[in-house]
Structure 1
Amino acid sequence: MSFLALVPLLPLLTAFIVMTGDRAEQDQNARAGLLPVAAAFLGSLIALVAVTSGDPVTIQFYDTASVANLAFPIGFYIDRLSAVMMVLITGVTMLIYRYSMGYMYQDRGYRRYLGMLGITTAVLLCMVSSANLVMLFVFWQILSWLLFLLAHNHGHAATLSGAANTFTMLRLSDAAFLVGIVLAYSLYGTFEFQTLFARAADTPVTLSLWPDLGWEMNGVTAVTLLIFVGAMGKSAQFPIHTWLPRSLYAPTPIHALLHAGIINAGGFLLNRLAPLYGLSPATLHVVFVIGMLTAMLGATMMLTQNDIKKTLGFSTIGQMGYMIMECGLGAFSLAVFHLIAHGLFKGTVFLNCGNVIHKARQEPTFPPIDREMEESEFSNLTWSTGFLTTLLLPLVILLVTHGVLRIPLIDSQGTVIFLFFIWVTSSQAILSLTRIRAVASWKVSAAMLVTLVIVVFTYLFAVESFTHFLYPNPEVVASYFKAAALPGRLFDSLVVGTTVLTILSWVYLYAHAHGRTVTIPGWIEACLVRLYVLCMNRLYLDQLYLKFGRIVTLVAHHLEKRLS
């Protein structure tokens, strides 16, 4: 199966084809450049079938003993996780490339754009199929550099500023990633994934942070926390998420690739190092908190934006928060399932986003406002169906879980996590359907029930089949959930709080539709207005970081003068 090593290199052939020849041949070369990407997609499918029916494919062009001599270890490790990511990356890239042939053909940098698309795809494939931490980090770094180049139109001041901000923010997070790798090698003496996992599990190490005060930290916790900062940067986690909204001046197809593939790198990294993270409950708790904050803030800031690209950008930040939060709860397979679904969805949305923007510029009233739909009466049937299905869903899930899957929920917080996400996702989808008023209410109610069935069975598939596919050993899955387990009272509080919030949402919807007002104290209304302004301005983090950068620059100039 050594020919699989050629799959990550095929998109480089695309870059060579489209960037050679004169401008008169660019259309012909662009069409020819699609073939290597399609071949890479076919090769990824073959790799997925191969590793599903057999063992992971390991291809090493180096001797593991030579790593100590600083020889660059080039090799490929393709397991089920790598193969799934390769299929996702090549499939999305193939669609984006084909779309770009019609969307970007009049751009002066058309050939450079397609060439960069091929190079970025090759780097992504090499990153997800890396055989060791060093190779993974090298391609992780190259990807960070490519994000600056993918901004494309550097003659535009805002585009250049956003690209520079992206470059700076990712340098900070990547520096922590590098320190984590160096620390891992100093503690365990290897860059190889499987060897690293085995040594970390067999030889616990304690680091003395401040010997005089007795401050100590587990070695695995220190390594995983530092590497997680790198994942935070790539996946735009709070508070280093600001680079993503500022990079939205790049071509729309590039954002389809960014939001469907590149930004998933954080979730992939945590899954690739899942055995290491499973050894550190403290790190998993930090991952959960960061993911939850990012999900809440991303979704809130999304609702206050007035630009379609920024709305989609903050939507991605919120979804990446969910993905990281799932990793922090030990549901690594659910995070991969989430990033695949989000990647396919958000890639399609961004490709269509360009058409919407173009149409809106031609017609100021686009999209048209349907006054009849806005003024149509609220349906009690729709509200009752949504309310009852949302509240009865936990009971349905319990019956299915106990009767079909026969899982003891009391002894499995991990299973409750999967069921909790089923409920929250279906509640959001069902609640959004109540906005459809111009359609007969019985049709909307039927759509709610169909949505409920689809979401429930999709998540049950993620629980049963996809989890077993990525992590065949059930004891390993149970160990991840055990390591990530939250204190009982905290976990119960999160479930109860979400339940109350869901019920209040339906009550508010019913009262608002019937012209009833909910009395709110004046100080709460004032806080809500300030919160809206705060979220609309993205928590003023951009201005805060700008001032901090100026202070650092002034201090650096002052020190330079003193030392010179």
Structure 2
Amino acid sequence: MEKIILLIPGIPIVIAFLLIFVKKKEFIPKISLILSSMIALLGLYGAYYVISNDTQITGFGGLLIYNQLSAVLVPYVAILGLVIRKYATKYMWDEAGYKRFFILLNFIFASIYLLVMSNNLIVLALAWQLMSIGLYLLVSFNVGSKTAVKNARWTMYIHKGADLVFLLAVILTYKTFQSLDLATLSEKWLLMSKTSVDEPIIFVIGLLFLIAAMMKSAIVPFHIWLPYTSEAPTPVSGLMHAGVVNVGGILLNKLAYLLMLTPGVLNIAFGIGLFTAIFASALMLVVSDIKRSLGYSTVGQMGYMIMEIGLGAFSLAVYHLIVHGIFKATLFLESGALIKYARHDPNIPERLSYKVFWEDKTGNRSNRLFYLIALFTILPVLAFIGVKMVLSEEFFEFNAAIVILAFAWLTGTQLFLSFFKVSKSDSIQVILALVSTFVLILFTYEFIGLTLEHFLYGEDALLFYKAATLNVTMASSMVMLAVIMTIGWLFMYKQHFVEISHADIKPSKMKWLFYKLLAKEGFYFEIFKRSKKGRL
């Protein structure tokens, strides 16, 4: 009975095939939504089965597997797919190629499910390739726009490069370990980790897989494809930023036991992730285009995710990509309404979320109630975390991961302050809201993140932290966090770099050049565009 769960990757293909024969336009989204709901239900049933029986479901000759990682990711992808399909039902109604859009959407979801549930490197490589093709077709959906087609080609160049690097890594893996089965390979890698293994070929394999993941997840210097796909339909943007861009983290989790043999690769991942997080978060604050700003926010979040993997916090990366995916999909699906209202109102628009959580309709009583809620949220949770720090040694084993999570919260605060009206009169309210958010994230991680750690990897989770030889202490992490937060706040409140162009006072040359460097996105896109000139 449980074997039916392994049919999940094929269901979107069946949906796409059925849509070919549908003639009435209104039936296209209904069929897609109804049958996609089956995937969500099967995914949830599979998660229940794996959790309750503490076992895995394998089939098709061991090519597919529904394990702990699948039990977490498949329901997430399925529910995300339902939301995107529902949103696209009306959003894409007047677009040419309505049926083609839903067919392509199901095609790319099939490749994502296949990638998550693959237990064989050849199947994984196939899903890796199909996702690139599906993404190209969706990004270039607006064939009437030359810019959209060019951006789709740039996306394809980077993704096909990732495919090539991935295939090379697969070939070397088979040549070195004589197996393509991921479960078998993981057992071999776990055994090898208990002995002293220092073979250069293993480092090369791990590095190649890391590069492939970086290219798919838009890590600097391969990030340029993500912010410049804003001409794609909004549902596609939501899918890219909440689903497709996460495949790098998914891949590295599937290969976690291999990376345990390559601490040097983990150190490289941490360094590159740190640079990506700082660089992309700074660019996000100066880019004027809302979708491109969200794109750089995603690049920064992917940098945080790679940093977490570099510290051995593989399960935290999974937790991060799910939370960030939900958050970013919401922002993208709301961006259209934000732009629409902004055209009629020179101020930042008051959306539904603003009215529900922020607008004061009853005077001081509402403010007092907000302060009480915020304080009663903050104090108990801080007390809980304080007790954990004193009484639990386990807390300190994950301190670096918690600090990295604080980095991710910083981007959330930046976006929060970008989308909501903030004035001097409600500054205390803003501070309490942001601190409450931070504390709730820590609280959630303590209850969910550590539980997820044990669910995915059990006792092996500590081996990943030991393999990550980079020593990131609590003190150094907090100093790093303070520096990044200071830079962030300076960019948010020292807006005279922009406003000073309207005044008689000229800024210093250094300040102006620094701001121009950020405003031009490091000139990276200009260099990339010129390198491809004549071939697009």
Q: Give your verdict on TM over 0.5.
A: yes
Q: Deviation per CA, 1:92-135: give whole Å up to 9, x if none.
A: 11011011111111111101001111111111111110111110
Q: Deviation per CA, 1:404-454: give whole Å up to 9, x if none.
A: 5x1166xx5x42213323554567767967973376566556535533441
- 1:303 aligned counterpart, secondary structure: helix
Change (3 A) 1:539 1:443: closer
- 2:64 aligned counterpart, secondary structure: strand
Is 1:116 matched with 2:68?
no
Change (3 A) 1:138 1:506: closer
Change (3 A) 1:79 1:310: same
Is 1:43 matched with 2:42?
yes
- 2:301 aligned counterpart, secondary structure: helix
Q: Alpha-carbon deviation of 1:525?
A: 4.7
Q: Deviation per CA, 1:287-310: give whole Å up to 9, x if none.
A: 111111111111111111111110
- Higher-Rg structure is 1
Contact 1:394 1:423 in 2 (8 A): no
Q: Alpha-carbon deviation of 1:29?
A: 3.1
Which of 449, 455, 460 in structure 1 is aligned with 2:441? Answer: 455
Q: Show the counterpart of 2:353.
A: none
Q: Show the counterpart of 1:335.
A: 317
Q: Deviation per CA, 1:24-66: give whole Å up to 9, x if none.
A: x11123212211111111111111111111244343434xxxx
Change (3 A) 1:525 1:134: farther
Aligned mates of 2:399, 2:382 — CA distance in 1: 13
- 1:325 aligned counterpart, secondary structure: helix
Contact 1:174 1:229 in 2 (8 A): no
Is 1:270 matched with 2:270?
no
Residues 125-204 of structure 1 correspond to what in structure 2 (within 5 A)? 125-151=113-139, 152-202=141-191
Q: Show the counterpart of 1:479.
A: 463
Change (3 A) 1:509 1:194: closer
Residues 49-88 of structure 1 correspond to what in structure 2 (within 5 A)? 49-62=48-61, 75-88=63-76
- 2:226 aligned counterpart, secondary structure: helix
Q: What is the aligned length?
A: 500
Q: Alpha-carbon deviation of 1:264?
A: 0.5
In structure 2, list runs of 5 or more residues that go unmatched: 351-358, 360-367, 496-504
Q: Alpha-carbon deviation of 1:221?
A: 1.2
Q: Show the counterpart of 1:464.
A: 450
Amino acid at match of 1:447: A
Amino acid at match of 2:251: L
Q: Show the counterpart of 1:548.
A: 531
Aligned mates of 2:143, 2:259 — CA distance in 1: 39
Q: Show the counterpart of 2:388.
A: 401
* TM-score (ref. length: structure 2): 0.83
Q: Alpha-carbon deviation of 1:286?
A: 0.7
Change (3 A) 1:507 1:398: farther
Q: Alpha-carbon deviation of 1:494?
A: 4.2
In structure 1, list runs of 5 or more residues that go unmatched: 63-73, 208-215, 374-380, 513-521, 554-564
Q: Alpha-carbon deviation of 1:276?
A: 0.9
Q: Alpha-carbon deviation of 1:7?
A: 1.7
Q: Deviation per CA, 1:152-173: give whole Å up to 9, x if none.
A: 1122100100011111111112
Change (3 A) 1:203 1:464: closer
Q: Alpha-carbon deviation of 1:462?
A: 3.8
Q: Show the counterpart of 2:295.
A: 313
Q: Deviation per CA, 1:468-487: give whole Å up to 9, x if none.
A: 2222x22x111101111324
Q: Alpha-carbon deviation of 1:217?
A: 5.4
Q: Alpha-carbon deviation of 1:331?
A: 0.7
Contact 1:7 1:40 in 2 (8 A): yes
Change (3 A) 1:157 1:442: closer
Amino acid at match of 2:76: L
Amino acid at match of 1:470: L
Change (3 A) 1:496 1:453: closer
Aligned mates of 2:486, 2:524 — CA distance in 1: 33
Q: Alpha-carbon deviation of 1:144?
A: 0.5
Between 1:166-175 and 1:197-206, the stretch displaced more is 197-206
Contact 2:6 2:59 in 1 (8 A): no
Contact 2:159 2:215 in 1 (8 A): yes
Is 1:365 matched with 2:351?
no
Aligned mates of 1:466, 1:206 — CA distance in 2: 29
- 1:77 aligned counterpart, secondary structure: strand
Change (3 A) 1:499 1:543: closer
Contact 1:88 1:340 in 2 (8 A): yes
Is 1:245 matched with 2:244?
no
Between 1:318-327 and 1:7-16, the stretch displaced more is 7-16
- 1:26 aligned counterpart, secondary structure: coil
Which of 387, 401, 407 in structure 2 is aligned with 1:418? Answer: 401
Q: Show the counterpart of 2:94.
A: 106
Q: Alpha-carbon deviation of 1:354?
A: 1.8
The sequence identity of aligned pairs, in percent, is 31
Change (3 A) 1:355 1:511: closer
Aligned mates of 2:483, 2:156 — CA distance in 1: 42
Q: Alpha-carbon deviation of 1:333?
A: 1.1
Q: Deviation per CA, 1:169-216: give whole Å up to 9, x if none.
A: 111122111111100000011111122223345569999xxxxxxxx9
Contact 1:418 1:463 in 2 (8 A): no
What do you get for the CA RMSD once the two structures are aligned? 3.7
Contact 1:174 1:233 in 2 (8 A): no
* TM-score (ref. length: structure 1): 0.79
Contact 1:235 1:265 in 2 (8 A): yes
Amino acid at match of 1:365: P
Q: Show the counterpart of 2:509.
A: 526
Amino acid at match of 2:35: P
Aligned mates of 2:246, 2:492 — CA distance in 1: 34
Aligned mates of 1:503, 1:426 — CA distance in 2: 14
Q: Alpha-carbon deviation of 1:395?
A: 8.7
- 1:59 aligned counterpart, secondary structure: strand
Change (3 A) 1:439 1:465: farther
Q: Show the counterpart of 2:500.
A: none
Aligned mates of 1:511, 1:298 — CA distance in 2: 18
Amino acid at match of 1:477: A
Structure showing greater relative contact order (alpha-carbon pairs closer than 8 Å, 6 or more residues apart): 2
Amino acid at match of 2:387: V
Aligned mates of 1:103, 1:454 — CA distance in 2: 34
Contact 1:17 1:29 in 2 (8 A): no
- 1:246 aligned counterpart, secondary structure: coil
Aligned mates of 2:3, 2:14 — CA distance in 1: 19
Change (3 A) 1:54 1:167: same
Change (3 A) 1:28 1:428: closer
Contact 1:206 1:219 in 2 (8 A): no
Between 1:415-424 and 1:330-339, the stretch displaced more is 415-424
Aligned mates of 2:245, 2:124 — CA distance in 1: 15
- 1:236 aligned counterpart, secondary structure: coil
Aligned mates of 1:415, 1:308 — CA distance in 2: 35
Contact 2:319 2:449 in 1 (8 A): no
Is 1:496 matched with 2:456?
no
Amino acid at match of 2:518: C
Amino acid at match of 2:114: C
Q: Show the counterpart of 2:80.
A: 92
